[in-house]
Structure 1
Amino acid sequence: MSDGPGAVPGTSGPGGSGGGGGRGPARLNPADSKQLTRHPVSLRRIAALFVPHKRTIAVVIALISAASVVNLAQPFLVRAVIDDALPGQDLRLLVILTASMVGVAALTSAIGVIQTWLATKMGQRVMHTLRVQLFTHLQAQSLGFFTRTRGGEVQSRLTHDISGMQSVVTTTATGVAANLTATIATAAAMVALSPGISLISLVVLPPAIWLSRKVAKLRRTVTDERQRELAALHTQVEEGLSVSGVRLAKTLGTIPRDARRFSARSENLVGLELRSQLAGRWRMATMQVVFAAIPAVIYLAAGFPATSGGMTIGTLVAFTGLQAAVFRPVMGLLDIGVQWVTALAFFSRIFEYLDLEPQLKAPAHPVRLEPGLVRGEVRFEDVEFAYDGGAPVLHGISLTLVPGTTTAVVGATGSGKSTLASLVPRLNDPSRGRVLLDGVDVAQLAPEDLSRIVGVVSQETYLIHASVRENLLLAKPDATDAELLHALAAAQIADTVGALPDGLDTLVGARGHRFSGGEQQRLAIARTILRNPPVLVLDEATSALDNSTEAQVQQALERLTAGRTTLTIAHRLSTVQNADQVVVLDAGRIVEQGTPAELGAAAGPFARLAARRSEAPALS
């Protein structure tokens, strides 16, 4: 935001800081240029965001312009005080003039408050719109997007980039209006006061600006080099003084070499810091000379009859004040280009995510299925799947899950078990073939319907940083306490929760750290039980449980799966023995299928997996 009407904002943003009052010009961040090259931004698309606020923009610009003009009354009031009121001992005129000076300041301040409120409100509304669009759009992306993208990157674009965009754009927009208006109005006032002196001032101004920017550029180069060296030093500290880093240095004998590298970098920083400080001192000295030279030239010109034009003392003081004031908005205007590139880079990063085509698109005309009427037949028809266009991990899978039965999928690690399970709740879409639910392609179901029909308990549980109650209510927002307790009891964790001081209102902590891994797993199972879906996908749901707890939860799951279609990724023989059918996967292909008894007697892949039970408790 600008500092107010008539004020020249020391614009700031990721690219650097604006240059007024002795600061250097804004710095163009090379990363911003690369971002714009990779993902160009249409100005029309940006403008479309502000179309609903065009009236507010017009009012803000009008307020800034009005305040800049009103603020220029100050030097003329000063001139009248010095030339008329004080020499003539006119107390009445002096009171009027000084009161007017206070009034002008109060008026511009009031306008500044209104302008700031309007501009901030507009920026926040635009930011709100983008934030919601980006959040909902990212939720529509496939799991593959999130496995490829760092979580911090997604959060940065959703929070930092949008907030930065609002700040930079609002500052830039108001800065352009304020600086441009202030420059034009100040130049006009200078000409009105003294055309001759104004010409001299405008001749002096360009070289003064050039000199200040030249010195600032020198310091910027040194500062960039210093920042790179500091980054390398910090990286060495972070890597070298971590537990793993120290262990590696000791085992490889690199401690002397690391010390020499650290010493060399530290030595380089000494020289760079000296150069940076001297360059900064030169910049300050240059600015001091500039600010001293300009009024000196004005005073000198005022002493010559040919250029003074009979200038009074009051006019000279007023003119000097205007001359000092015009330097800042001019410098601000020179930095607008860098600020605009920074703003465009923010938009580019946001639009880059908004332009991602979701791999899992919701159907335009979904087929509606009522969860209570779903039979629960799941059928895989010649399904093939590959991640990101790579080699297929599933090949020609054709499989039917009979309503009300349990199908266990077993196989070695990497055989495609979890990938197969992910296709039912449509966490992924097949590269070829279809997954049908009661004869309807799951890709044709509305996402909210599919989530009510297919319940998932995965190996990796996820609990939000809230209470037990809030975690359970995610599955059924209108559930009563009795229903919550019943679900906890079915998952064999009601006694654990009941023994806590706050019971259902106990905070689970970040990622559920308040509970053990097995307890987290049972809370996730309770959440699924509460949802009561007709189709269940259990992706190694009991893997985090010990044998005793697993037996208890397995009993709960058996009661839950009764009469429901269940696809379970099995890792223990006990899970498989109770299944209606067993499917053995090997390298993404079904190599064996039948009842546990049939496969056990066949002495095939399943029998060999089961034989390993004596060596390892897991089948996978």
Structure 2
Amino acid sequence: MLPVARGTTLRAYVRTLARRHAGGFAAVIALHTVATVAGLVGPWVLGTLVESLAAGTAGGRIATAIGWYLAALAVQAVFIGLSRLRGGVLGEEVLADLREDFLVRSVALPTGVLERAGTGDLVSRGTTDIDRLSKSVREAVPELAVAIVSVVLVLGALVLTSPLLAATALIGLPLLLASSRWYFRRAPQSYRAESAGYAAVNTVLAETVDAGRTVEALRLGDERVRLTDRKIREWVDWERYTLWLRSVWFPTVDATYTLAVLGTLLFGGLFLLSGRIDAGQLTAGVLYAQALVHPVDLILRWYDELQIGQASLARLVGVREVSDPETDGTLRPDGRRVEAEEVRFGYREGADVLHGISLDVAPGSRVALVGPSGAGKSTLGRLLAGIYAPGRGRVTLGGAELARMPAERVRAEVALVNQEHHVFVGTLRDNLRLARPTADDTELRDALAAVDATDWADALPEGLDTEVGSGGTALTPAQAQQLALARLVLADPHTLVLDEATSLLDPRAARHLERSLARVLDGRTVIAIAHRLHTAHDADVIAVVERGRITEYGAHPELVAAGGAYAALWRSWRDEG
């Protein structure tokens, strides 16, 4: 799976978010400070009134006390409402930043990293972890800050009222600290394991659905069900463990609150009988001790919520740690020659699928990779496009190693177009401008014409302004493929790797499209992977890939005359045609 952020990375990112939203946090704390101070007026007024009643000097103070008490409640209610409103807005702003940062970083991830990690983990981070984090960001962070301010102010008021009562209010603190230490030593890693377990369930389900036909064809249904059940059991086990942690900790925390209030009443009564405090101080002290319960409870419960949020945040921020330590941001190619030197590559350690491949692709030439299915053609194409890094050997562009170049630089130089095409939600114009945001309508239409897509594009209800993708006008697989090729024309890279780029078109349409593209791609380096051998017939040079090795290399006439593997493929294809 993708990495989970280390503590240093996580703290640095949290500091960055705090700096971005410092004004919002300050506003929330200031508003609630006013509300808390107003809330402290009530116990003080009641304590003063009780003392006056005990001394028989209340007189007309009762009406005044009630007035002050109600005024303080009104001020407290107004400022609590304002602080919660500002806290909610702050939470949405922070959450928007988190989503945007995650999306920007995810889009910039190397394609090879995503292919190795699988889609399930990334999707789980962008959905489940964002959902889990939303409660922490919207409510936990602002309310935790508010609760800390409340505890400080209430303790200060309690100390001013009576230092003795302040000490008795903290009688349950040792039990609170011991139980919290026990809980928080176990909770963070447990919540992370729980999140990872849920991501593993998502990954298994996504892979099974994506490869549904293969699962059925190979009769792997029972095996996939057993794997899914095992992953679900592992996830549920962690869910139960974290629930057990909470079931032990929460009652213990509640007991400390009861101890605080009872201790204040018991010892406060003794202090009153001994004359160390008066009745007004005891009344105010008990009320202040009771007032401590709510903010302390908020701190502990929201801190627990933050453990879940921290685990999700670490997974979101973890994508920022995806990097290649050998990447050199200053590396630039000197020329357009693509070379592979003794390249070996495997998807698993010790199981290479490419064995010592060397290839020299001259600038502007057309190379066709042919061979039986499973021979390693697509894997070699991804290596030449800079998506995978070789296990051994080098793949260079203009003398610079593709594996050491930043992904943005590689994509500016080399483009890969395969059979997987996506139509994004939006207009046809928006879909095309993904490749070149500054393109005008004339350039967009020229790109469509280059891939023979003008007829169906003009036939759309609103032309370039037609909404396509999910919820809009549905494009056929062949039209989606032409759209991807039109983006390629707009992107205008100098080196192209085409992996069955016209496979969804019928042979006659594919042949016509390839001839049209030939004019557009003239002068560019093209590495084409195809089963339709007319592509190989038109190439400058053909590389036959068998069992992860290049077994034949040369022009079409030479290989046909040699009577080897390519000649057999050519005869078979001609006979089928």
Query: Which one of 428, 436, 450 corresponds to residue 397 of structure 2?
Result: 436
Give the match's secondary structure for 2:125.
Answer: helix
Residue equivalent to 1:103: 71
Residue equivalent to 2:294: 328
Residues 175-202 of structure 1: CA deviation (Å, up to 9, x unaligned): 5554455446545656766888888877
Instruction: Give matches, 1:125-274, under 5 Å.
Output: 134-158=102-126, 161=129, 168=136, 178-183=146-151, 185-186=153-154, 189=157
Residues 537-581 of structure 1: CA deviation (Å, up to 9, x unaligned): 221111111233223323322333344332111211222222222
Query: Which one of 306, 317, 329 corresponds to residue 273 of structure 2?
Result: 306
Residues 490-539 of structure 1: CA deviation (Å, up to 9, x unaligned): 32221112122122222221399811111211221222233344433221
> 1-side partners of 2:355 and 2:175: how far apart?
73
> 1-side partners of 2:351 and 2:277: how far apart?
88
- Residue 606 of structure 1 deviates from its aligned partner by 0.6
- The two structures, once aligned, show a CA RMSD in angstroms of 5.3
Question: Are the structure 2 counterparts of residues 423 and 63 from structure 1 closer, same or farther at C-alpha, using a change threshold of 3 Å?
Answer: same
- Residue 73 of structure 1 deviates from its aligned partner by 0.6
Bigger Rg over Cα: 1
Question: Are the structure 2 counterparts of residues 524 and 70 from structure 1 closer, same or farther at C-alpha, using a change threshold of 3 Å?
Answer: same
Question: Are the structure 2 counterparts of residues 501 and 95 from structure 1 closer, same or farther at C-alpha, using a change threshold of 3 Å?
Answer: farther
Query: Which one of 510, 525, 529 corresponds to residue 550 of structure 1?
Result: 510
- Structure 1 gap segments, 5+ residues each: 1-34, 217-223, 255-260, 266-271, 370-376
Question: Are the structure 2 counterparts of residues 406 and 73 from structure 1 closer, same or farther at C-alpha, using a change threshold of 3 Å?
Answer: same
> 1-side partners of 2:415 and 2:263: how far apart?
81
Give the match's secondary structure for 2:514.
Answer: helix
Question: Are the structure 2 counterparts of residues 359 and 408 from structure 1 closer, same or farther at C-alpha, using a change threshold of 3 Å?
Answer: farther
Query: Which one of 52, 76, 79 corresponds to residue 19 of structure 2?
Result: 52
Residue equivalent to 1:348: 314
* More divergent stretch after superposition (347-356 vs 596-605): 347-356
Question: Are the structure 2 counterparts of residues 296 and 157 from structure 1 closer, same or farther at C-alpha, using a change threshold of 3 Å?
Answer: closer
Give the match's secondary structure for 1:510.
Answer: coil
Query: Which one of 568, 587, 612 corresponds to residue 547 of structure 2?
Result: 587
Instruction: Give matches, 1:110-129, under 5 Å.
Output: 111-112=79-80, 115=83
Question: Are the structure 2 counterparts of residues 597 and 328 from structure 1 closer, same or farther at C-alpha, using a change threshold of 3 Å?
Answer: same
- Which amino acid in structure 1 is aligned with residue 527 of structure 2? L
Total equivalences in the alignment: 526
Question: Are the structure 2 counterparts of residues 51 and 498 from structure 1 closer, same or farther at C-alpha, using a change threshold of 3 Å?
Answer: closer
> 2-side partners of 1:352 and 1:126: how far apart?
18
Conserved in 1, the CA contact under 8 Å of 2:383 and 2:395?
Answer: no
Instruction: Give matches, 1:369-384, under 5 Å.
Output: 378-384=337-343
Conserved in 1, the CA contact under 8 Å of 2:41 and 2:72?
Answer: yes
Query: Which one of 400, 407, 411 corresponds to residue 360 of structure 2?
Result: 400
- Which amino acid in structure 2 is aligned with residue 385 of structure 1? R
Matched, 1:70 2:62: no
- Which amino acid in structure 2 is aligned with residue 458 of structure 1? N
Question: Are the structure 2 counterparts of residues 502 and 54 from structure 1 closer, same or farther at C-alpha, using a change threshold of 3 Å?
Answer: closer
* More divergent stretch after superposition (168-177 vs 585-594): 168-177
Question: Are the structure 2 counterparts of residues 328 and 451 from structure 1 closer, same or farther at C-alpha, using a change threshold of 3 Å?
Answer: closer
- Which amino acid in structure 2 is aligned with residue 141 of structure 1? L
Conserved in 2, the CA contact under 8 Å of 1:404 and 1:565?
Answer: yes
Give the match's secondary structure for 1:75.
Answer: helix
Conserved in 2, the CA contact under 8 Å of 1:368 and 1:449?
Answer: no
Conserved in 1, the CA contact under 8 Å of 2:432 and 2:487?
Answer: yes
Matched, 1:358 2:328: no
- Which amino acid in structure 2 is aligned with residue 548 of structure 1? R
> 2-side partners of 1:296 and 1:420: how far apart?
75
Conserved in 1, the CA contact under 8 Å of 2:457 and 2:463?
Answer: yes
- Which amino acid in structure 2 is aligned with residue 361 of structure 1? T
- Residue 129 of structure 1 deviates from its aligned partner by 6.0
Conserved in 2, the CA contact under 8 Å of 1:141 and 1:359?
Answer: no
Residues 58-116 of structure 1: CA deviation (Å, up to 9, x unaligned): 7765665554333111122345567769x98977x566544433432344345446655
> 2-side partners of 1:546 and 1:43: how far apart?
52
> 2-side partners of 1:156 and 1:601: how far apart?
54
> 1-side partners of 2:27 and 2:43: how far apart?
26
Question: Are the structure 2 counterparts of residues 443 and 343 from structure 1 closer, same or farther at C-alpha, using a change threshold of 3 Å?
Answer: closer
- Which amino acid in structure 1 is aligned with residue 341 of structure 2? D
Residue equivalent to 2:373: 413
> 2-side partners of 1:292 and 1:426: how far apart?
65
- Structure 2 gap segments, 5+ residues each: 184-190, 223-228, 234-239
Conserved in 2, the CA contact under 8 Å of 1:410 and 1:571?
Answer: yes
- Which amino acid in structure 1 is aligned with residue 370 of structure 2? V
Question: Are the structure 2 counterparts of residues 49 and 197 from structure 1 closer, same or farther at C-alpha, using a change threshold of 3 Å?
Answer: closer
* More divergent stretch after superposition (41-50 vs 469-478): 41-50
Question: Are the structure 2 counterparts of residues 602 and 446 from structure 1 closer, same or farther at C-alpha, using a change threshold of 3 Å?
Answer: same
- Residue 583 of structure 1 deviates from its aligned partner by 1.5
> 2-side partners of 1:72 and 1:352: how far apart?
43
Instruction: Give matches, 1:376-525, under 5 Å.
Output: 378-387=337-346, 389-430=349-390, 431-437=392-398, 442=402, 450-510=410-470, 514-525=474-485
- Which amino acid in structure 2 is aligned with residue 427 of structure 1? I
Identity %: 28
- Residue 418 of structure 1 deviates from its aligned partner by 1.6
